[in-house]
Amino acid sequence: MDLKNLKRGSVILLLVFLLSACQQQLAKSQYPLHYSGAIMGTTFTIKVSSLTDSLTSDALKTQIKALLDQLNGQMSTYQQDSELSKINQNHSSEWITVSESLYIVLKQANVISKLSNGAFDITVGPLVNLWGFGPNDMSFAAPTDEKIAQQLSNVGFKYLLFNDDKHQIKKQNPMLYLDLSAIAKGYAVDQVGLLLEKNGMSNYMVEIGGELRLKGHNLQNKLWRIAVEKPAANQRMIQKVLPISNVSLATSGDYRNFFELDGVRFSHTIDPRSGKPITHKLASITILSDTTMKADALATALMVLGVDQGYQLAEKEDIAALFIIKTKDGFIEKASTSFVARLR
Ligand code: ADP
Ligand code: MG
């Protein structure tokens, strides 16, 4: 997390919020809480349609910012003294006690890894770094096969062991390096949502870097209207508008965070099986789920699997997924049965 996306001079906002221009002006000034800022190397926006008396808008913002800073301090690979960075620097196989939040995210990551047969894998960190998408490396060059093989030997979610009673983890391979960039933003969205709900607010939209949670209604007393962006690198156009609520939504795509070398595009999504960025024709994928953490991780998992295997998994596991596929004549959509049902 942190600065990764900004580093490439592009903001990885995969979604735009569709409101007509004047509606947007109106809505912006009238939302009792409309809070935007930067966190986790990307931007966030929070809108609450109706505030309760329990907290002022400023007090709520202070609490939200404190929560986001706390989560970043637990899960960032860009912050050298974060809880996760310390685990990454600890090259041993001892049991390590971790915070509750971090434990929950690591366990959910493990579930999605198993579900996707290793397509989603937070131990892919060394390869993310090798390909220049990590905290340190700014050199956008394809690494040699030898270097890839070297790093692959330290990748594998099976090397991360859990003790549920003690909230402990163990790196069976001491060189394991964990990267939560594909799941932590989703968890943070859920936690902000919970904070709002604890304070009695049930009509809100929380978004961090394109991962969203929607609850209740917008300022016009209608469902939230979320636009999935057309997955093209050099334009910002709307592919599809989803009127939805009481759901989480995440999008993964290869059209914002990538580098190009000799006309070949290298995505920031790495296939942990090959050690290389994905190259298939899937341009973006949008997932609807009950938690944003799950939606976030599933979006990356299905992005790695590609259209055919991804669609198969979505059908088998009842995942609501919208695939946007590149063809020579433009983009085509393919929705899983559960996605179609969810929007009916
Ligand atoms: P997107 O919106 O495209 O999903 P995210 O920032 O949510 O983007 O997730 C992409 C990040 O996840 C990458 O920058 C990398 O740090 C990490 N990542 C890349 N490949 C994988 C993978 N196969 N499994 C888990 N995390 C990955
Ligand atoms: Mg994501």
| pLDDT tens-digit readout, 118-176 | 999 999 999 998 988 888 766 667 889 999 999 999 999 999 999 999 999 999 999 99
Q: How far is ligand 2, taken at its centre, from the CA of residue 52, in Å?
A: 31
**Does 299 contact ligand 1 (Cβ within 6 A)?**
yes
What is the structure's pLDDT at 53? 82
**Most ligand 1 atoms within 8 A of CB, residue of 256, 284, 300, 302 to mutate:** 300
For residue 14, the ligand 1 atom closest to its alpha carbon is 2
Rounded mean pLDDT of 316-332? 93
Please write the tens of the pLDDT for every residue from 104-114: 999 999 999 99
Please write the tens of the pLDDT for every residue from 182-201: 999 999 999 999 999 999 99
Rounded mean pLDDT of 41-55? 90
Closest listed ligand to the CA of 181? 1
**Does 253 contact ligand 1 (Cβ within 6 A)?**
yes
**Does 255 contact ligand 1 (Cβ within 6 A)?**
no
**Does 181 contact ligand 1 (Cβ within 6 A)?**
yes
Give residue limits of the domains in the chain. 79-171
Amino acid at 57: S
**Most ligand 1 atoms within 8 A of CB, residue of 248, 269, 324 to mutate:** 269
Query: For the chain, how far is it from start to end, CA to CA, in angstroms?
Result: 35
Q: pLDDT higher for 142 or 84?
A: 84
Nearest CA to ligand 1 atom 23: 120
Please write the tens of the pLDDT for every residue from 203-218: 999 999 999 999 999 9
What is the structure's pLDDT at 302? 97
Report DSSP letters for 233-260, one per residue.
TT---EEEEEEE-SEEEEEEESSSSEEE
Distance CA 221, CA 242 (A): 16
Please check whether residue 122 is in contact with residue 157, taking contact to mean a CB–CB distance below 8 angstroms: yes
Pairing mode of beta strands 224-229, 211-215: unpaired
157 secondary structure, DSSP code: G
Cβ partners under 8 Å of residue 169, min gap 6: 87, 95, 96, 98, 103, 106, 160, 161, 162, 163
For residue 134, the ligand 1 atom closest to its alpha carbon is 16
Report DSSP letters for 76-108, one per residue.
-SSSTTSHHHHHHH--S-SEEE--HHHHHHHHH
Amino acid at 165: D
Fold classification of 79-171 is: T-fold (1.10.3980)
Q: pLDDT higher for 51 or 255?
A: 51
Region of 287 please: left (phi>0), alpha (psi -120 to 50) or beta: beta
